Amino acid sequence: MDSIINHIRFWLLTPIILGFILDSLLGDPYWLPHPVRFFGKLIFVGEKYLNRGKNKVLKGGILAFVLTGIVFSFFKFALMPLKNYPLIALIVKSIFVYFGIANRSLITESLKVERTLKKKGIVEARKQLGTIVGRDTAKLKENHIRIATLETLSENLSDGVIAPLFYYAMGGVPLMFTYKMVNTLDSMIGYKNERFRQFGKVAAKTDDVLNFVPARITALLMVLVTFSWRGLVFVFKYGNKHSSPNAGYPEAALAGILNCRFGGPNYYLGKLVEKPFIGKIAKEIKYVDLKKAVMTNVLVSIVFIFLISLIQIGTFYPLIHP
């Protein structure tokens, strides 16, 4: 009986579940201070002073190494005193898991693009899309706006949800936020343009390494929760066609699930970038496709948390780990 009660407590109290519930309820309100925004400020300052002169690859690597080291050390040592206070530790870690994932905001921003397209027209929808994608949106047609939204929804399911949860399961809050710093570095300085090609090289490569496993887990879970054989075929056929070693896998899974085509040429900072197509059928994307993508996102997130919890229970993983 005691064992059953302990397992029930685990299911109810584990920070990964509570954090996910908080994110599902609250999202990321703009008024709420967020660690990732602070990460962004640190990166901005570091890039401003270091991204000049010679040895840019070395300087960018030092910035990435120092910032990730600071983040890991801060959370590791800050949480140590809480070992003697399990309830406080549970609350604190749940809050940081909430900060570490971005599921609600990812879905909200994707749906906001669709609502803007329907209510305010294509010009405003392009502007709204520009807040969540890196490509130029000023000339995108309606179908390309929806395709870009779906690509972002699938790619960021890995980056913003599955990868942070994966690293929390591996090493708690310190490793989760070390990943978040690397991912933020990549999103800010990991571009292959003249300004960042050298300076952001180490950050981009590190992000590629850390996302290797989560991206493939994401893709497999996407096809499993939708029972899509075509999605699985797309993962193996098109997953490695993307310029990114990771983003292509969840994108290929969603393209297969929806039986549509992603990728192709797009403009980034005014420069045409030729990307391979993922899929063959260039169909018109409709709202029902977005709804199916959102439902896939939710199911993948829940199933992954369920699997992590099962592993933790099965191995008697400590409820409160450093």
User: Average pLDDT of 197-218?
Assistant: 96
Q: Which pLDDT does position 10 carry in this prediction? A: 52
At residue 225's C-alpha, the angle toward residues 221 and 231, to 5°, is 70
- pLDDT > 90 fraction of the chain, expressed in percent and rounded: 70
Q: What pTM was computed for the model?
A: 0.90
What residue spans define the domains of the chain?
A: 11-314
What pLDDT band is residue 313 in, cutting at 50, 70 and 90?
Answer: low
- pLDDT > 70 fraction of the chain, expressed in percent and rounded: 93
Strand segments, DSSP code E, in 144-293 are: 262-263, 266-268, 271-273, 277-278
What pLDDT band is residue 11 in, cutting at 50, 70 and 90?
Answer: very low
Q: Which pLDDT does position 73 carry in this prediction? A: 97
The larger pLDDT score, comparing residue 43 to residue 32, is at 43
What pLDDT band is residue 12 in, cutting at 50, 70 and 90?
Answer: very low
What pLDDT band is residue 314 in, cutting at 50, 70 and 90?
Answer: low
Contact 250, 215 (CB under 8 A): yes
What pLDDT band is residue 3 in, cutting at 50, 70 and 90?
Answer: low
3-state secondary structure of 273: strand
H/E stretch holding 287: helix 287-314
Q: Which residue is it, tokens 């983003």?
A: 247
pLDDT of residue 8 exceeding 60, the answer is no
What long-range pairs does 206-213 form, CB within 8 A, spacing at least 24? Answer: 206/64, 206/68, 206/182, 207/182, 207/183, 208/244, 208/245, 208/246, 210/163, 210/167, 210/179, 210/182, 210/183, 211/158, 211/159, 211/163, 211/183, 211/246, 212/245, 212/246, 213/166
pLDDT of residue 150 exceeding 50, the answer is yes
Q: Which pLDDT does position 316 carry in this prediction? A: 47
Helices of type H across 101-141: 103-119, 122-129
User: Average pLDDT of 277-306?
Assistant: 93
pLDDT of residue 9 exceeding 70, the answer is no
Q: Which pLDDT does position 2 carry in this prediction? A: 53
Distance (Å, whole) CA 177 – CA 271: 33
Across 85-94, 95-104, 159-168, 218-227, least confident range? 85-94
User: Average pLDDT of 284-303?
Assistant: 95
pLDDT of residue 318 exceeding 90, the answer is no
Q: Which pLDDT does position 288 carry in this prediction? A: 94
Q: pLDDT (tens digit, 9 = 90+) per residue, 101-144?
A: 999 999 999 999 999 999 999 999 999 999 888 888 888 999 99
pLDDT of residue 1 exceeding 70, the answer is no
Q: pLDDT averaged over the chain? A: 89
pLDDT of residue 321 exceeding 50, the answer is no
User: Average pLDDT of 184-211?
Assistant: 92
Distance (Å, whole) CA 135 – CA 78: 38
The larger pLDDT score, comparing residue 165 to residue 315, is at 165
Tokens of 90: 């549970």
In the DSSP assignment, the letter for residue 271 is E
Tokens of 75: 């959370």
The phi-psi region of residue 218 (left if phi > 0; otherwise alpha if psi is between -120 and 50; otherwise beta) is alpha
Q: pLDDT (tens digit, 9 = 90+) per residue, 249-270?
A: 999 999 999 999 998 888 777 7
